[in-house]
Structure 1
């Protein structure tokens, strides 16, 4: 009987050993693992389900335990990292279906139907447009009844401002985009919708307005959005920060959300503004949850006047350092998605602000229509 060469037996033994050892190592690592946020995937990992007490909990227990095990088995992070490195270096593509590699190492968000939106493949239907108009009219009507100005601001998606950095193979249909449609119906109905696209596109000549590794605007881009918002407000005598691109010279780096989703450990060099020392060292409170998917924090600037409520999403983070220096008090309301009027208006009434500003990312514009219930509430 012919014996296998030594190196072949060694390789086979090592492979068998690895197959046997890996499950035990995974279980040991899992036993000492705590629930956490997955920075690679930008989401909370599934929690260990509690002991079922009802029939419904028994029915869903297998699925909930499976989700927990898949999220928390030992060495998961190592495997995700190896997959990321192999996909990025060897295959030249993102290991995440939520990230697209563009030109010159630019990353773009692909979740929430963003690619279809970029390609203008998801126009709003006539019914959606009618419901969008109704949703905004309800907000405006409630604010007018309380004699409060209202402004709705759309934060453009990164691919809208940097389409030249998107992959060449992604063809696009002719406009209108969803944002074009919403701006058009708002203009026809006299609704206060602010479109920031022109200001951000013009600002590209003086600096990068969105991060390469992140889905959000840079410090320079956020400032341009702030200036455009301030110019649209009807409140008199507002102190407005007056900066130019040369003042965005403080070196910094940024860990982008898209780089994290793609499993990349790189940090993007950037530059932030040096705000004049005499412009209100505002104070801020921590976020407090006040309802389902709604949290509130406040900033105070004693040198300024007026109280506003600013309802927004993650794009708001870049605006805080500017807006907080222009108002006596800003109540920042962080919410997930566009909430129906019945969830937001009572909060605003309790705060009694001088004005309400609401911001929404472009990719979530279709959520406006979803807040209009079939029964008309």
Structure 2
């Protein structure tokens, strides 16, 4: 360590000594920037010219030129630094109370997304986490960066909704000693072979629910050649990319599935280009990839990141129409609208491990109504009419005519139950002379400490008949206080000429109740 420190100071001193001479000799001729004067320190001591040399020297010593960006590992391996969502610290520290809370939110929200997708015609929803490189090759990390055995991602997979999350960790760990490296030594990403193994994990998972799907043969993932390539992004962070090399695994798949793929802007329908199933970056706007010779005539929405570059040819070969979009470029509202418009068979979400507990993973879908028998409703409190506004009772029981611009009914609940055990709201509803197939509603609630207000409300649409909506995803829904009243609003007086509502109750679905 003392020798490394000595080399650091000596090299730094020498670079600073020669910088003024070098810059005056090489940068001053032809220098035209009027705002920078040759005698200024920023000109004289600019050391950009020396960074490749410094990076190479530090690399030989096992020192990172920027530890936040890149870690210099063993045997020529580089790893992403802690500037990227603290991924190194997270693995060193292991599970914390904050991580446990985040995992609880992620798994709860992913269950809501799964239910939302099912209610909107999506056959299957899957999440594929691409392990960080150091999760598969921790033995090449510096000793100080060793992982805790209590891995956060392992707990996430353990607690995730059954069947939704695809375990790519186990097959990658099992395969890493049986072939060429599955990740690039000098890059953050897996190579085609690593991506293939993860894709086969997705195939095995999805085939259990969709046995009719056809997938590429396992042998298509065999490595038929290994070629040299320039160093990757991590070597660039170390300033040594130009003289660093890595290895590219070429799969049998590449020749077999050299099929035409058309790329369209989804919103405008404009053709952006065609190719023979080449890898592509994650689009910032939804783009449709159409491959008529794909193995399955199926529609997929694929939320992805840069780990999807190597996956993209596999997806195009398997599914005929795939909308790709960078998962950080779309929000909950955008995703729900995309699903409602495109009507996909499947929604797939592939993301690198370090990004698997943020963004959309922490965002629930908008509230949506379902039929209670689909979620096994268990009532806990029943509502009775306490007050009405801009409605009058009609001839039949529980039936009302709208008489003004603000029609609502307030129901008092009995017994009063805390929100965590009464977040499912169910009722039978019929809208007379409905203006649209879906009727806009707004539900308000009150507790012993807070009355009815806009901040204690949620909007959603319902259809005719028996309806249930999970209010736990509504901002402000109380979990520890009792629910006293529910106010039922027709959100537009023009939506119906009148309506009937009966059997209003709050409770939980059977699955949630069984976990309490």
TM-score category, normalised to shorter length: 0.7 to 0.9
Equivalent position SS for 1:285: strand
Q: Which residue of 2 aligns with 1:190?
A: 162
Matches within 5 A, 1:271-290: 271-275=249-253, 277=255, 279=257, 281-285=259-263
Q: Which residue of 2 aligns with 1:84?
A: 55
Does the alignment pair 1:242 with 2:222? no
Q: Which residue of 2 aligns with 1:47?
A: none
Deviations 1:132-191 (A, max 9, x none): 12321232122011121111111111111111111123343331x2212211221xx436
Q: Which residue of 2 aligns with 1:253?
A: 228
Q: Which residue of 1 aligns with 2:347?
A: 356
Contact 1:298 1:330 (C-alpha < 8 Å) held by counterparts: yes
Distance, in Å, in 2 between the alignment partners of 1:256 and 1:365 is 23
Does the alignment pair 1:130 with 2:104? yes
Structure whose CA Rg is larger: 2
Deviations 1:180-212 (A, max 9, x none): 2211221xx436111211111112113321111
Contact 1:128 1:366 (C-alpha < 8 Å) held by counterparts: yes
Cα deviation, residue 73, structure 1:
11
Contact 2:128 2:348 (C-alpha < 8 Å) held by counterparts: yes
Q: Which residue of 1 aligns with 2:89?
A: 116
Distance, in Å, in 1 between the alignment partners of 2:254 and 2:334 is 38
Q: Which residue of 2 aligns with 1:67?
A: none
Unaligned runs of 5+ residues in structure 1 are 1-13, 32-69
Does the alignment pair 1:299 with 2:271? no
Distance, in Å, in 2 between the alignment partners of 1:279 and 1:157 is 28
Distance, in Å, in 2 between the alignment partners of 1:323 and 1:28 is 50
Contact 1:282 1:324 (C-alpha < 8 Å) held by counterparts: no
> Relative to 1, partners in 2 of residues 1:27 and 1:128: Cα closer, same or farther, differing over 3 Å?
farther
Contact 1:313 1:334 (C-alpha < 8 Å) held by counterparts: yes
Distance, in Å, in 2 between the alignment partners of 1:164 and 1:26 is 49
Distance, in Å, in 1 between the alignment partners of 2:52 and 2:33 is 17
Distance, in Å, in 2 between the alignment partners of 1:128 and 1:141 is 20
> Relative to 1, partners in 2 of residues 1:165 and 1:126: Cα closer, same or farther, differing over 3 Å?
closer
Distance, in Å, in 2 between the alignment partners of 1:143 and 1:273 is 34
Q: Which residue of 2 aligns with 1:146?
A: 120
Matches within 5 A, 1:18-167: 18=21, 21=24, 25=28, 28=31, 77-89=48-60, 91-97=61-67, 98-110=69-81, 111-112=83-84, 113-121=86-94, 123=96, 124-148=98-122, 149-167=124-142
Deviations 1:71-104 (A, max 9, x none): x999674243343234224x43121221111111
Contact 1:26 1:73 (C-alpha < 8 Å) held by counterparts: no
> Relative to 1, partners in 2 of residues 1:152 and 1:160: Cα closer, same or farther, differing over 3 Å?
same
Equivalent position SS for 1:345: helix
Distance, in Å, in 2 between the alignment partners of 1:24 and 1:277 is 48
Distance, in Å, in 2 between the alignment partners of 1:246 and 1:346 is 36
RMSD: 3.6
Contact 1:206 1:245 (C-alpha < 8 Å) held by counterparts: no
Distance, in Å, in 1 between the alignment partners of 2:44 and 2:347 is 46
> Relative to 1, partners in 2 of residues 1:25 and 1:346: Cα closer, same or farther, differing over 3 Å?
farther
> Relative to 1, partners in 2 of residues 1:17 and 1:182: Cα closer, same or farther, differing over 3 Å?
closer
Structure 2 residue corresponding to 1:365, chosen from 356, 359, 375: 356
Cα deviation, residue 21, structure 1:
3.0
> Relative to 1, partners in 2 of residues 1:278 and 1:100: Cα closer, same or farther, differing over 3 Å?
closer
Contact 2:62 2:73 (C-alpha < 8 Å) held by counterparts: no
Q: Which residue of 2 aligns with 1:268?
A: 246
Superposition misfits of 4+ residues, deviation over 4 angstroms:
14-17, 72-77, 286-290
Structure 2 residue corresponding to 1:342, chosen from 314, 329, 333: 333
TM-score (norm. length: structure 1): 0.73
